Amino acid sequence: MSRRTSLKDIAERVGVSTALVSYVINGQEKEKRVGKEVVKKIRAAAVELNYQPNQIARSLRRGSTKTIGLVVADIANPFFGNMARVIEDEANKQGYTVIFGSSDENSGKMGSLVDILINRQVDGFIIVPAEGTDLQIKVMQEKKIPLVLTDRYFMEVTTNYVVLDNFGATYDAISHLIEKGYKKIGMIAYKSNLIHMKERIRGYIEAMNNNNLGNEIRIEEVRNNHVGIDVEEAMSKLTAGERKINAILFATNALTISGLYCVQKLSLKIPEELAIIGFDGNEAFDFFYSPLTYIEQPIEEMGKEAVRVLIEQINGSTKIVHIKLRHTLIKRQSSL
């Protein structure tokens, strides 16, 4: 890779100091009173030599990289993939570049990911925090590293966040099922202390309680590293025996998909034997023989807001922003 042209090259060709070139390149020729002729020559040389500023040098000097670090659970998960896309576009619009990493919901991995990104001097972070990373986040917060959490947050740590109104979402979903006449409603969620899960479960419970169905509450919590077998076990448990349910709410996209595989296996009739509500959109929901009712998240808004808030923060704002966005319940055949 032959050396790229630098400010110095232009300076030499035009016969001036690098300072002047820098001023012109950065559009400060007025304030710094650079001569008209010289400005022209510098511009011409820059074009001719195809000058592109070295962002690394610039970053070192300016102390800002115009880069944001994005940490999600798994970029291959469509929910996070879509979010990443929105964030990418929005960041680009504002002149920022995105570096990403997947934590796999693992606190250790998230820690080293964050370290790497800090060493690369990202200007700020958008993070989907893994379980047990409250301390990590707190430390970042104390170091005044600009930071926005999304999808989830920690009650004990005061940070910016942009999340779904998870309680409202599941409350609404359960209310809809009840309205349709279902009473024996179960739920499959992750075993997790993360707030989004707690809130989704709370929405379910309160909706049940408020409709005098408190004693019908049946929640199965599965391990996120054994989704396949755990969901299978949970489904068998819930759909058999005395207290067999006739409707179910899944707490995430992945859980819904896993649940659908079980439904196939157990050849349950949807919605006759079991009504279903899923989480997030997914093409698979459309092609399931009984198209799924699901809770749609405003991914686009979420990503955009996250970037907006983060950049405000990077630009020095110190106010803490909490944003809860509303879902949309897409009603279809699986909950008729």
Residues that bind a copy of itself (CB under 8 A): 1-2, 52-57, 59-60, 65, 67, 74-78, 81-82, 84-85, 88-89, 92, 97-102, 115-121, 143-145, 257, 260-261, 264, 282-284, 286-289
Contact between residue 251 and residue 219 where contact means Cβ atoms under 8 Å apart: no
Q: Which listed option, DNA, a copy of itself, none, makes contact with residue 33 (CB within 5 to 8 Å by class)?
A: DNA
Q: Which of left, alpha, beta for 276 (phi over 0: left; psi -120 to 50: alpha)?
A: beta
What's the rounded Cα separation, in Å, for the pair 65 and 144? Answer: 16
Would you give the distance in Å from CA 87 to the centre of its chain? Answer: 9
Structure tokens at 7: 């400010």
Q: Which listed option, DNA, a copy of itself, none, makes contact with residue 62 (CB within 5 to 8 Å by class)?
A: DNA
Nearest Cα neighbor of 145 from 131, 157, 159 is 159
Three-state SS letters, 1-24: CCCCCCHHHHHHHHCCCHHHHHHH
By beta-carbon proximity to a copy of itself, the closer residue of 249 and 263 is 263
Nearest Cα neighbor of 325 from 199, 202, 200, 168 is 168
Cα three-residue angle 166-134-299, rounded to 5 degrees: 35
By beta-carbon proximity to DNA, the closer residue of 9 and 206 is 9
Contact between residue 327 and residue 298 where contact means Cβ atoms under 8 Å apart: yes
By beta-carbon proximity to DNA, the closer residue of 54 and 193 is 54
What's the rounded Cα separation, in Å, for the pair 333 and 197? Answer: 26
Q: Which listed option, DNA, a copy of itself, none, makes contact with residue 116 (CB within 5 to 8 Å by class)?
A: a copy of itself
Q: Which listed option, DNA, a copy of itself, none, makes contact with residue 316 (CB within 5 to 8 Å by class)?
A: none
By beta-carbon proximity to DNA, the closer residue of 6 and 82 is 6
Shortest separation between residue 141's beta carbon and DNA, angstroms: 21
Indicate the helix (H) or strand (E) that contains 147. Answer: strand 147-150
Q: Which listed option, a copy of itself, DNA, none, makes contact with residue 32 (CB within 5 to 8 Å by class)?
A: DNA
By beta-carbon proximity to a copy of itself, the closer residue of 100 and 219 is 100
Q: Is 170 exposed, middle or buried (0-12, 13-18, 19+ CB in 10 A)?
A: buried
Shortest separation between residue 267's beta carbon and a copy of itself, angstroms: 13
By beta-carbon proximity to a copy of itself, the closer residue of 88 and 199 is 88
By beta-carbon proximity to DNA, the closer residue of 19 and 116 is 19
Would you give the distance in Å from CA 76 to the centre of its chain? Answer: 12
Backbone φ and ψ for 94, nearest 5 degrees, come out as: -95, 10
State the distance between the two ends of the chain, measured CA to CA, in whole angstroms: 63
Q: Which listed option, a copy of itself, DNA, none, makes contact with residue 6 (CB within 5 to 8 Å by class)?
A: DNA
Q: Which residues bind DNA (CB under 7 A)?
A: 3-4, 6-8, 15-20, 22-23, 25-26, 32-38, 51-54, 57-58, 60-63
Cα three-residue angle 103-198-263, rounded to 5 degrees: 80
Q: Which listed option, DNA, a copy of itself, none, makes contact with residue 17 (CB within 5 to 8 Å by class)?
A: DNA
By beta-carbon proximity to a copy of itself, the closer residue of 98 and 173 is 98
Shortest separation between residue 122's beta carbon and DNA, angstroms: 15
Q: Which listed option, a copy of itself, DNA, none, makes contact with residue 88 (CB within 5 to 8 Å by class)?
A: a copy of itself
Shortest separation between residue 327's beta carbon and DNA, angstroms: 44
